[in-house]
Amino acid sequence: MTDKYAQLVNQGLGRNVAKKLGLPQPAVLRRYEPGQPLITGPILVQGGTAGADSLAAELLSWDLDVRRHAVPREKLGAIILVLDEVAEPDDLGKPIFAAAASLRDLAPGGRVMTVSRPASDAPSPAAAAARQAVDGFLRSLAKELRGGATGNGILLAPGVNTTSPSALAAVQFFLSGRSAFVDGQFVTVSTTAGELSADPGKPLAGRVAVVTGAARGIGAAIARTLQRDGATLVLVDIPAAGDQLAAVANEVRGTALQLDISRGDAGQRILEHAAQRHGRLDIMVHNAGITRDKLLANMDEGPWNSVININIAAQLRINEALLASEHFRSSPRIVSVASTSGIAGNRGQTNYAASKGGVMGMVRATAPLLAAQGGSINAVAPGFIETEMTARIPFALREMGRRLNSLQQGGQPSDVAETIAFLASDAAGGINGEVLRVCGQNLVGA
């Protein structure tokens, strides 16, 4: 759905009126297009650690314009603040203020990134305090950025360094237009697994992927993005959506499987289809889901059970079949679509929020099982995304949903799809059990 307000305030008279009245002025976001540079403008890498030096050297090897010291009034494409060795809160001030001096030079659509370590693994209370302080600092800074700029963080688990494959993959993702609607978020790189693609334009080349709920909306966008990135596709949706499913499958040169995923044998049916057509399955994207919104006081067991069954119980059954199958063994990837409703809750969505909270719990608990097979499972939690469903929300509520995030606008289905494609890639193999929000840093929730 088109955000007409955003279009209006990005044009001459509308821009001037919005500025004078102090109205929200959502910027046009820098989204990914094939062939575009990773980022435009120099990248300032701040930090005096060996990790900062190594990261800067790696970025130079990518033919990027890298600075280790700011040049006054030089427009910057990105600022990366490496804080991987902070041991106490007093260690934060000097590097943070060195980076802060360059914030006014950040170009529209620029990127700010922190690279640090999780507080949970800290060797002392002081180190834990410093590491957790980075979290509060980055999330607050992201809310101060303007012009479509975003701020995100990378957490390096013990044994992972700034140039481990998935750390570099996360840097690529956050620098690029693929992360346009990811803001104020952290992703943990838990292992040194992962391998950067030899062809950045086709990071999923040779991989076979299944996408459920693929007939429309976010599911169709996921299919298009995975196909663009080189994957071979099997698209799944209910028989009632058969015509739309076939149209999307033809568009992405994939195959269509009409299937109700709530069936007990859905996992086996998916595996049989993928094995017969392609010999294996590499990537499973759980996108299918429903809403049956109603206040809990007015809800009976029917809407509750149907949402729980389709949104989480079906995923559990399918995953059980995948984990037991010899056809799901080659660096397997599972990506599930959760929701910010499962994090912060939402009035009238107790069933939906429970199901999406369940998805996140499933992802964290399944991660060790996939790791044992050299694979990973992660979730993407969208916020307000411009879809047919959100277009039906009453006008006032729809506008609130759009504006209540740091980017002051709704996301696009492609924003969710780009994040899923990143997590499904071999490069992200060291990222496991994570929930990454695609919400423009919605003001509700963490």
Question: What percentage of the chain reaches a pLDDT higher than 90?
Answer: 84
Domain membership flag for residue 226: yes
Mean pLDDT of the chain: 93
Domain membership flag for residue 240: yes
180 and 264 in a single domain? The answer is: no
Selection from 3-17, 89-103, 395-409 with the highest mean pLDDT:
89-103
Q: 344 Cβ partners below 8 Å, 6+ apart?
A: 442, 444, 445, 446
411 and 304 in a single domain? The answer is: yes
Pairing of strands 76-82, 376-382: unpaired
Task: Check whether 388 has a pLDDT greater than 90.
Answer: no
Domain membership flag for residue 115: yes
- Give dist(CA 45, CA 67) in Å, integer: 6
DSSP 173: H
Give 446's pLDDT tier (boundaries 50, 70, 90).
very low
Query: Any idea which residue has 């507080």 for tokens?
Result: 119
88 and 141 in a single domain? The answer is: yes
Burial class (CB in 10 A: 0-12, 13-18, 19+), 97: exposed
Which residue, 216, 234, 224, 343, is CA-closest to 289? 216
251 and 351 in a single domain? The answer is: yes
382 and 235 in a single domain? The answer is: yes
32 part of the active site: no
178 and 56 in a single domain? The answer is: yes
- Compute the average pLDDT of residues 255-278: 97
pTM: 0.95
Task: Check whether 445 has a pLDDT greater than 70.
Answer: no
Pairing of strands 208-212, 106-116: unpaired
Radius of gyration over alpha carbons of the chain, in Å? 22
Query: Any idea which residue has 């499972």 for tokens?
Result: 377
Domain total for the chain? Answer: 2
Q: Which secondary-structure segment (H or E) carries 98? A: helix 93-100
Which pLDDT tens digit goes with each residue over 325-356?
A: 999 998 999 999 999 999 999 889 999 999 99
Which amino acid is located at 398 in the chain?
R
- Compute the average pLDDT of residues 234-256: 98
Query: What pLDDT sits at residue 17?
Result: 65
Which pLDDT tens digit goes with each residue over 425-435?
A: 999 999 999 99
Domain membership flag for residue 7: no
Domain membership flag for residue 147: yes
Which pLDDT tens digit goes with each residue over 166-182?
A: 999 999 999 999 999 99
| Token representation of residue 282 | 């590499």
170 and 242 in a single domain? The answer is: no
Owning domain of residue 410: 208-438
Give 13's pLDDT tier (boundaries 50, 70, 90).
confident
214 and 181 in a single domain? The answer is: no
Domain membership flag for residue 334: yes
Query: What pLDDT sits at residue 5?
Result: 65
- Give dist(CA 445, CA 416) in Å, integer: 18
Give 387's pLDDT tier (boundaries 50, 70, 90).
confident
Of 189, 221, 254, which one is at a domain's C-terminal end?
Answer: 189
216 and 183 in a single domain? The answer is: no
Task: Check whether 164 has a pLDDT greater than 70.
Answer: yes
Question: Which candidate in 352, 356, 406, 420 is catalytic?
Answer: 352
- Compute the average pLDDT of residues 45-58: 97
Question: What CATH code is carried by the domain that includes residue 277?
Answer: 3.40.50.720
DSSP conformation letters of 318-363: HHHHHHH-TTS-SS-EEEEE--THHHH--TT-HHHHHHHHHHHHHH
Which pLDDT tens digit goes with each residue over 282-293?
A: 999 999 999 898
Domain membership flag for residue 19: no
287 and 171 in a single domain? The answer is: no
182 and 239 in a single domain? The answer is: no
172 and 228 in a single domain? The answer is: no
Burial class (CB in 10 A: 0-12, 13-18, 19+), 46: buried
- Give dist(CA 63, CA 55) in Å, integer: 13
Domain membership flag for residue 12: no
**pLDDT: which is higher, 444 or 203:** 203
Pairing of strands 208-212, 255-258: unpaired
